[in-house]
Each structure stands twice: as C-alpha cells, then as structure tokens.
Amino acid sequence: MTGLAQTLAFGVLVGGVYALAASAMNLIFGVMRIVNLAQGAMLMLGAYLAYSLWRATGLDPLLLTLVTAPALLAVGWVTYYLFVERARTTDPPTALVTTFGLALITTGVIALIWGNEWRLAGPGYAGRSFTVAGLHLPQAQVYACLVAAVVLGGLWLVLNRTWLGRSVRAVAAGPEGARLVGIDVRRVWAASYALGVAAAGAGGALLSVLYPFTPSSGYHWIGLMLSIVVLGGMGSMAGSVLGAVLVAVGEALTSAYLSPGWATAVPYLVIVIVLLARPQGLLGARLREDMSRA
C-alpha cells in the first residue's frame, strides 16, 4: 500500500511541473490555433538560463523563474514578430514547420553557447526528501510543484482578472468578433505567444533542478506536452492541469507496476486513445470548426 501511495505521490508532484509546461503550449494553441513545436526548445532555454545564473550567483534555480520568465517573455515577443506571425497568416502546416525550424535554431544556439554536455543544477536540497507517513517526497519536486502552482495561478489571474486576459479570451473565442469590439488582435496574438513562451521559461528553471538536460532534451518534452494538451482538451487550461496529473501518474504507475521501459510510451498511448475515444479531450469543448472560426 505504501508502494502505491509513494508512486502516486511521485506522479502528482511531477504532474505539477508537467502542468506548467503543457499549459504554456495550450495557451498558444487556444488563442492562435498553432501547435508551437518550439516550446520544448524554449523550456531548455529557460533551463540553461537558470543553470547559468545559479552557477554565477548561487541563487536558488527555482527562484530564478523570476528572471527566466521575463527573459523568455522577451524572446517570445521577438520570435513572434520575426518568424511566427508571418507563418500563422499562411496556413497551419507552414506555422508548424516554422515553429519546428525555430526549435532547431534555438537548440543549435543553446549548443553553441552552452555546449552539448548535460547539465543539472544542484542546490543543497536537490538530493533530499521530506519523509511524511513513510513516504519520500523529494524536496526539489515539492518546491518545483509549488512554484509551478504559483506560476499557473498567476497565469490564471492574468487570463481571468485583467483586460489583457479578457482580450486574450475574446480573441480565442473569435478573432473577427474581437476585432469588431476594438481589440488589437495582432497584439493579443503576440502577447499570448510571449506569455506561453514565458511560462515555458519558468518551467525550464524548474526542470534545471529536477532532471539532467542537454540542448536537445526539448524534443522529448514536445511529445509529452502534446499528449497532455490532447488529453486535457486543446485550448483548456484546466484540462492541461488535469491531463498533466493523469499522464504523470500514469507514467509513475507504469514504471512501478508494469515496466520502466513502458513509462515513456504512456504519453503516446494517451494521444492515440484520446483521439479515438474523445477527440476534444477531457475538458475540451467540441466545436464546429466553421462556426468557431467565423
């Protein structure tokens, strides 16, 4: 029984970080209808920034989300106007290829700056655990999960309690309607993309403490984030959180009770099953594409 509780605890803690990464991708998809394949590379950029700052200053890598998120916000803003905007006005496949190209460029730049060696930030608590009722709760995972919850809460507040958030939701519901009520849709798209990348920057700082990473580690995260977004429902932030916890718990249970060899296949199985059984995801709305885009 302790074994099951321990496994579930691992899953839930990791699920918090998954939720942040997937919500960032889902925000961009929900507003712009773009699957941003550069999100994994942006996660890694956040991780390398946090790692370097931790090395240079000794500051806690988790607190450095306060630096990596704004830094990646700027990166998102610039890359949106340089690359993504032009692609999104053509057709979805072009946007997909553009963001993949952006992922390749970002990965290459990271490798040029930081090299290809794997890195891992190691603050004092990285190898310690809290012991609660016989369960080992890794401190790094607990703190990372809390920071992810705070960032997600902040994102929720921005989307639900600010004018920018209302504009974002209005554009997500229908850009033509939003334009009719005076919203600068172009700026909202840019802001949504930049916010999504900034959230990836925060997620990267969390990952820098949790797992060893290399410049190309981002590609692994793309599949994972996509599966969570598909499971939770494309465009649904709450769905992303729920999907993240379910995928993370699924991975942990598979690793513990089936085989660690199958754990990384869980996200891909999730994609196939959800697309067959409930294409709109757990909390996604089933919309007529012609009406939703009108």
Partner 1 sequence: MRTFLGSLTAVLLLVTACGNGSGTAGDTGPIKIGASLPLSGPVADASEPAYAGYKVWLDRLNRGGGLLGRPVELKVLDDGFDQNAVISNYNRLIGQEKVDLLLGTFSSKLNLPASTVAERHKMLYVEPSGGATEIFERGYEYLFFAQPSTSVDLPEQFVAWVKSLPPEKRPATAAYPTQDDPNTDVAIEAFAKELGALGVRPVYSQEYAPETTNFDTIAAAIAAARPDLIVHGAVSADGAGLIKALQKQGFSPKILFQTNSPSVVSSFPEAVGPANTEGILTSVAWSPATPYPGNAEFVADYTKAYGRPPTDDAANAYTAGQVLEAAVKAVGSLDQRKLADWLHANTVQTIVGPLKWDERGVPDGDMLLAQWQRGELEIVAPESARTGGPVITPKPAWAS
Q: Which residues would be at the binding site for partner 1 (CB under 8 A)?
A: 3, 6-7, 10, 14, 107-108, 111, 115-120, 122, 124, 126-129, 136, 138-141, 210-217, 220, 251-252, 255-256, 259-265
Which CB, 264 or 280, lies closer to partner 1? 264
Cβ of residue 119: shortest distance to partner 1, in angstroms?
A: 7
CA atoms within 13 A on the CB side of 65: 28
Q: Which of 213, 266, 275 is nearest to 15 (CA)?
A: 266
Alpha-carbon span 282 to 285, nearest angstrom:
9
Which CB, 139 or 280, lies closer to partner 1? 139
Cβ of residue 218: shortest distance to partner 1, in angstroms?
A: 11
Alpha-carbon span 193 to 171, nearest angstrom:
13
Q: Which residues contact 151 (CB under 8 A, 6 or more apart)?
A: 20, 65, 69, 199, 202, 203
Which CB, 112 or 273, lies closer to partner 1? 112
Cβ atoms of residues 139 and 130 within 8 Å: yes
Q: Which two tokens stand for residue 244?
A: 């993240």
Cβ of residue 132: shortest distance to partner 1, in angstroms?
A: 14
Cβ of residue 117: shortest distance to partner 1, in angstroms?
A: 4
Which CB, 175 or 267, lies closer to partner 1? 267
Cβ of residue 39: shortest distance to partner 1, in angstroms?
A: 16
Which CB, 1 or 181, lies closer to partner 1? 1
The identity of residue 30, as a single letter, is G
Q: Which residues contact 193 (CB under 8 A, 6 or more apart)?
A: 28, 31, 32, 34, 36, 76, 77, 79, 80, 84
Cβ of residue 21: shortest distance to partner 1, in angstroms?
A: 13
Q: Which of 189, 198, 170 is nearest to 80 (CA)?
A: 189
Residue whose entry in the numeric block shows the structure tokens 């009406």: 291
